[in-house]
Amino acid sequence: MNYLSPRLEGATIFNPLPLRRFDLIHAFNRIPLGLRPYVIGLESHLPRAFGMEGTPLWHMLTRSLASRRCRGIIAISEFARRTFLAQHGDQMPELKNKLHVRYPNITIPTAGDALDPAGNGPIRVVFTGNHFARKGGCVAVVLAELARDRGLPLIVDIVSKLEVGGSIWTDPTDAAVYPPYLARLGLPNVRLHQNLPNAAVQDLMRQAHFTLLPTFGDTFGFTAIESMANHTPVIATRQGALPEVISHMQDGILLDLPVTELGEWVHLGRSDRQSTQFVQIWRDEVQRLAEAALQAIIKVTEKRQTMACMRRAARFSAMRFTADDASLYWDRFYDAAVEGVVPADRGRD
């Protein structure tokens, strides 16, 4: 429905043709319209009707979640669960009664570690994200500049379509902010890849010392678990669900970011993203995060054994997200959902 209007992002409709009879729909983020029973996953807010809370559309979608037609609500992280509960408070206990937490899953590669931590080559760091500024691409290029200026042999691979500003909810809206950061893509220790298939991206991760995700606004960060599954630790901001995924200085590195009680960047969603005040806040954070990332990289890589242990731990942590376990979980969940509402796991209350 968001193709008709961005204000209708919270709902979806399935193509009725050809006619098929489904017992159950598994939706994600967008509530399916119709009569068929469904379960729905969420990454943060549900319903997704940003700026329309309290409107007839919001109430209609919320009533659908509370109805018997919705057999289960599955948050993909504890962060998503907290956000959902804060969104609805105690007004609708029937929502809480069908709320579960289940992490997403990926197919874990079977290949061994492709990087020799004892090797003598340059430190390799990979950043991937089409929303260049939101995901931390500006931090990545400043990191490359700092490393060059200090004589540290470090190469940063950037995989991005370089989308910045405008409607991206974390970014300054002034287009003049970005040219100095984009110009750093021409540094001798920066390599830009604008169009790579996922297999090639994962190969870059596999051969890197770190994947960089200093994001200003991510609910989960699938890049993190893909990287860890390939033995590569992640350097990420301490926001969203990333602190649930990464254990600081064990299987990755967490960079501090000022966040709310829910775990979102305190400046997320500001209405003054065009202001000089916000631009300065954002620039200062970019510089601080780049400095912190550089110091963390130096600390870990100066001891080869530390690097090797962190890579083993990253791979071990990624096994929590294996698709094999998820298949068993969802088979049982679907069977139960076809019969009726699946009660929430009370152990999480």
Taking 50 as the threshold, does the pLDDT of residue 349 lie above it?
Answer: no
Q: What is d(CA 46, CA 307) in angstroms, rounded to the nearest whole number? A: 40
Is residue 157 domain-shared with residue 282, that is, in the same domain? yes
Radius of gyration, CA atoms only, the chain: 21
The two counts, helices (H) then strands (E), for the chain are 12, 12
Is residue 307 domain-shared with residue 335, that is, in the same domain? no
For residue 42, what are the β-bridge partners? 75
CATH number at residue 316: 3.40.50.2000
pLDDT tens per residue across span 254-265: 999 999 999 999
pLDDT tens per residue across span 39-77: 999 999 999 888 778 888 889 999 999 999 999 999 999
Burial of 9 (0-12, 13-18, 19+ CB in 10 A): middle
With respect to residue 115, please indicate whether it lies within any of the assigned structural domains.
no
pLDDT for the residue 89: 82
Total tally of structural domains belonging to the chain: 2
Is residue 139 domain-shared with residue 52, that is, in the same domain? no
Is residue 299 domain-shared with residue 179, that is, in the same domain? yes
Q: What is d(CA 323, CA 133) in angstroms, rounded to the nearest whole number? A: 31
With respect to residue 114, please indicate whether it lies within any of the assigned structural domains.
no
Residues 6+ positions from 247 with CB-CB distance below 8 Å? 313, 317
Domain of residue 85: give its range: 6-105+323-348
Q: List, as own/partner pairs, every contact residues 175-178 make where C-beta atoms lie below 8 angstroms and the sequence separation is at least 24, other chains included.
A: 177/279, 177/282, 177/283, 178/133, 178/138
With respect to residue 117, please indicate whether it lies within any of the assigned structural domains.
no
With respect to residue 266, please indicate whether it lies within any of the assigned structural domains.
yes
pLDDT tens per residue across span 213-262: 999 999 999 999 999 999 999 999 999 999 999 999 999 999 999 999 99
pLDDT tens per residue across span 91-118: 778 899 999 999 999 999 999 999 987 7
Would you give the distance in Å from CA 233 to the centre of its chain? 15
With respect to residue 118, please indicate whether it lies within any of the assigned structural domains.
no
Structure tokens at 232: 């590569």
Is residue 312 domain-shared with residue 328, that is, in the same domain? no
With respect to residue 111, please indicate whether it lies within any of the assigned structural domains.
no
Is residue 61 domain-shared with residue 134, that is, in the same domain? no
Is residue 170 domain-shared with residue 287, that is, in the same domain? yes
Contact 240, 220 (CB under 8 A): yes
Is residue 208 domain-shared with residue 244, that is, in the same domain? yes
Is residue 297 domain-shared with residue 342, that is, in the same domain? no
Is residue 18 domain-shared with residue 78, that is, in the same domain? yes
Q: What is d(CA 234, CA 218) in angstroms, rounded to the nearest whole number? A: 14
Q: What is d(CA 113, CA 238) in angstroms, rounded to the nearest whole number? A: 26
Q: Is 109 helix (H, G, I), strand (E, B) or coil?
A: coil
Is residue 140 domain-shared with residue 31, that is, in the same domain? no
pLDDT for the residue 346: 56
Q: What is d(CA 70, CA 156) in angstroms, rounded to the nearest whole number? A: 45
Is residue 222 domain-shared with residue 258, that is, in the same domain? yes
